[in-house]
Structure 1
Amino acid sequence: MLPVAIFLLVILAGLVGYAMRLSLLANMGTTQDIQGARAYLAARAGIEWAAYKVLSPGSTTMEVCPTPPSPFVINGFNIVLTCSRVVPKDKGDTQDIGIYTITSRASVGSAGAQDYIEREIKVTLSRCLFGSEECN
């Protein structure tokens, strides 16, 4: 009877260990999902900051790409912004059209670590000026 009891205890201990491992992995997955969503929102906040600077309501000049503060941190996420601008003229050579490509990368943790999270968003914006006024 003793060997059967030991066998059952070993089997039950193995099942409990397996269940605990599954629970831990599920918890880690949930945490990474939440952090991923937070990283996306931080990257989006970086894009919105840059878009506001570029489109500059009320401005009558074509804005240059903004320089973010250093370090640029939103809710614990490090934000890296890159921006490029081209200003072609329209076919009639009367309107300046600023085309901005902005990339925002939000990350937390050390690259290669288990808790490292990174999200990147890229947008293209344009602004049209006719002389010193916004185009319609």
Structure 2
Amino acid sequence: MKRFPNPERMRGVSLVTAIFLLVVLAGLAVAMVTLATSQQTSSALDLQGTRAYLAARAGAEWGVYQVTRANGACATSTFPLPADSTLARMKVTVVCTRTLDTVSKLQRYTVLSTACNTPGSGACPSPTNSIDYVQRVVHVEFSEPGQP
């Protein structure tokens, strides 16, 4: 003869099981939301990094153009990129230096272009502790125009 458990002793088991399942499901939901948020932030920073690189490259090309085609001036400039472009909110600081190469006796130019998305002081690089700050640097060196 088989004995069945006493129904009085089984009371409350389903409540404990339901609470356990709710806690597990809530933990999974929190983990999923945290993962989705971090991936969204990472994706946004990756996009901003690409924009900053393209802005720095544009600044380097502008600096090289100023030396080779415009007026030959080698100076420092800071400028924002057009507000209606995909590089809006980027600011570029271009630093150009000229030195004399002692071996070849040619003028050597160095163009250092730094782009960032939230310059606090008005120029890049900007000392900031912002979590969404992005900065990229492009460095170009070349001899005086028309020379080898």
Global fold match (TM > 0.5)? yes
- What residue in structure 2 maps to residue 123 of structure 1? 140
Q: Which runs of 4+ in 1 moved over 6 A?
A: none
1:97: how far off? 2.5
Number of residue equivalences: 121
Of residues 106, 114, 121 in structure 1, which corresponds to 2:131? 114
Following superposition, the deviation at residue 67 of structure 1 comes to 4.3
| Cα offsets for 1:94-120 (capped at 9, x unmatched) | xx7321011111111362111110111
In the other structure, the counterpart of 1:73 is 80
Q: 1:99 to 1:135 in 2, by over 3 A?
A: closer
> Aligned ranges for residues 88-107 of structure 1 at < 5 Å?
88=101, 97-107=106-116
| Corresponding residue number in structure 2 for 1:8 | 21
Deviations 1:68-117 (A, max 9, x none): 3x5x01221111111110245876xxxx7321011111111362111110
Contact kept in structure 2, 1:47 and 1:104, CA below 8 Å: yes
Deviation for aligned residue 1:135: 4.5
Of 69, 73, 78 in structure 2, the residue corresponding to residue 64 of structure 1 is: 73
One-letter identity of the residue aligned with 1:124: E
Q: 1:36 aligns with which of 49, 55, 69?
A: 49
TM-score computed with the length of structure 2 as normaliser: 0.72
The structure with the greater share of residues assigned to strand is 1
Distance in 1 between residues matched to 2:43 and 2:140, nearest whole Å: 28
Q: Which has the higher contact order (CA 8 A, sep 6+)?
A: 1
Q: Tell me which moved more, 80-89 or 109-118.
A: 80-89
* 1:17 counterpart residue number: 30
What SS class does the counterpart of residue 74 from structure 2 fall into?
Answer: coil
The reply on whether 1:82 has 2:95 as its aligned counterpart is: yes
TM-score, L = length of structure 1 = 0.78
Bigger CA radius of gyration: 2
Is 1:64–1:85's contact at 8 Å kept on the other side of the alignment?
no
**Matched letter for residue 133 of structure 2:** Y
